[in-house]
A = this chain, B = another copy of it.
Amino acid sequence: MKIILLSGGSGKRLWPLSNNARSKQFIRLLPSPTGGEESMVQRVVRQIGEAGLDCDVTVATSAAQRGVIEAQLGSGVDIVTEPERRDTFPAIALSTSYLSLEKRCGDDEVVVVMPCDPFTDGGYFATIAKMAEAVENGAADLVLMGICPTYASSKFGYVVPRHGEAGKAVMAVDRFTEKPTEERAAKLIEEGALWNGGVFAFRLGYIRAITSRYVQAATFDEVRSRYGELPKISFDYEVAEKAQSVAVLPFNGVWRDLGTWNALAEELQGNCIGNAVVDNPECGSQVVNQLDLPLLCIGTSNLIVAASPDGILVADKEHCEQLKNMVDKLPQAPQYEEFGWGYSRVVDVTDEAITSRIEVKYGATTDEIVDNEHDRVLTVLSGSGSIEIAGIATELSAGEVYKVGRGESYKIVATTSVQIISVSRY
């Protein structure tokens, strides 16, 4: 069994902690059972392991997210990056091609596709195991998870089981309904309809056949290079709604989208994360401070206060949904980026220069970095290793200063953890 995690999104709704390089699923704020905090995607991968699912995990994502995924999930997962953003059908076609052509999985292999950011409990993963079983037993070509609705929402897609299937462990699907009115939703729920949770199970050959209608290729690299030939359409429209044989398994447990500050705040531990003090902890105000300076909240109630190198948010919890529109108007580059090899964080910006703190992890090697716009001065705060500038390698040690010219490439090999202040001048 293979699991494909779909990782996308720009995450403006959780600004300033999320940005284009760090979607909401990568924000480390959820309490981890081992202490400290974990991100949504780390939580999902941990839960997959805890559920005892015997599977490999492949993450389907954009090139911009590769670094943060390597940083958070390590080498335990495969990563497939889309050459361009299209939609969920092409992303799943690409990932399944990777399993067929690169990992040499057979057509009978059971594959489960799921989003990487639902906040759920163990029952969700037990349902996934049953979905895989249903595919193995030939219950249907395509098996979906149906979330038992808790209210007549107009925001979700609905899966309607066939008449008379209600109560069965595996129900045949009659039809799909995308985002109905609330009134229509209430009627659907009466009929036994479930929310479409975006979790799909199938045999690899089933999707390979659909993919080959658009791209027939002998290697994964070829599929990838012809990615633009796959139609820009969702998996629901291209596969689920056209399928002749579809079944749904209900899941009735914790299932939340922590996509807004209001929703995320409910899962945080205590009032404060980071260097912060709230004077009246009963007041319902919550603070996440990722800056190195103290934050004080005095006499406030029901606020979300979030501070990061990208900005500072002070919002009434009931009004968080207005955030996205306001963030859309902010012109800015991400100020904090996580990579497989470490991180880079902007600490100062002037008209002339950008100053950043860079950390290269113990034993890690940075990418080859080329900057055509700036000269750079790298001052090593601590650690040791080597640095290659324009092809020439030198020893790197604490207290030393290295200059990199505009357009020259450089690369750092850290033998211990290395901290650097980088000053980039226009």
A299 within 8 A of B: yes
The answer to whether A298 touches B322 (Cβ under 8 A) is yes
| Residues 263-310 of A at the B interface (beta carbon under 8 Å) | 277, 279, 289, 291-301, 303, 305, 307, 309-310
B299 touches A315 (CB 8 A): yes
User: What's the Cα separation between A403 and B300 when bound, in Å?
Assistant: 47
On whether the beta carbons of A293 and B319 are closer than 8 Å, the reply is: no
A139 touches B (CB below 8 Å): no
Tell me if A53 counts as interface (CB < 8 A to partner B): no
Tell me the nearest residue of chain B to A301, going by C-beta: B316
Contact B425 A352 (CB under 8 A): no
Interface hub of A375, A379, A401, A423 (most chain B Cβ within 10 A): A379
Which of A73-81, A106-114, A342-350 is found at the contact surface with chain B?
Answer: A342-350
Q: Which A2-55 residues sit within 8 Å CB-CB of chain B? A: 15-16
Query: Is A384 positioned at the interface, with any CB of B under 8 Å from its CB?
Result: no
A377 CB–B CB distance under 8 Å: yes
Give a binary string over A303-328; 1 marks a CB under 8 Å from any B CB, 0 the rest: 10101011111111011101100110
A314 touches B305 (CB 8 A): yes
- Asked if B298 contacts A319 (CB within 8 A), the reply is yes
Q: Could you say which residues of chain B place their CB within 8 Å of the CB of A401?
A: 377, 401, 403
Give chain A's interface residue range (CB within 8 Å of chain B). 35 or more
Q: In the complex, how many angstroms separate the beta carbon of A62 from the nearest chain B beta carbon?
A: 25
A295–B291 CA distance with the chains assembled, in angstroms: 13
Q: How far is the CA of A312 from the CA of B272 in the complex (A)?
A: 14
Measured between C-beta atoms, what is the minimum distance from A358 to chain B in Å? 11
Chain B's closest residue to A357 (CB) is: B348
- Identify which of B298, B311, B326 contacts A313 (C-beta below 8 A): B298
- Please give the distance in Å from A94's CB to the nearest CB on chain B: 36
Query: Is the CB–CB distance between A323 and B311 below 8 Å?
Result: no
Assess A425 versus B381: contact at CB under 8 Å? Given A277-B326, A291-B312, A355-B355: yes
Within the complex, what minimum Cβ distance (angstroms) separates A396 from chain B? 15
The reply on A218 being an interface residue by CB < 8 A is no
Residues of A bordering B, CB below 8 Å? 15-16, 277, 279, 289, 291-301, 303, 305, 307, 309-316, 318-320, 322-323, 326-327, 330, 332, 335, 347-350, 352-353, 355, 357, 375, 377, 379, 381-382, 398-399, 401, 403, 419, 421, 423, 425
**Lowest 6 CB-CB distances: which A-B pairs, in order?**
A299-B319, A299-B316, A298-B315, A347-B348, A294-B311, A295-B312
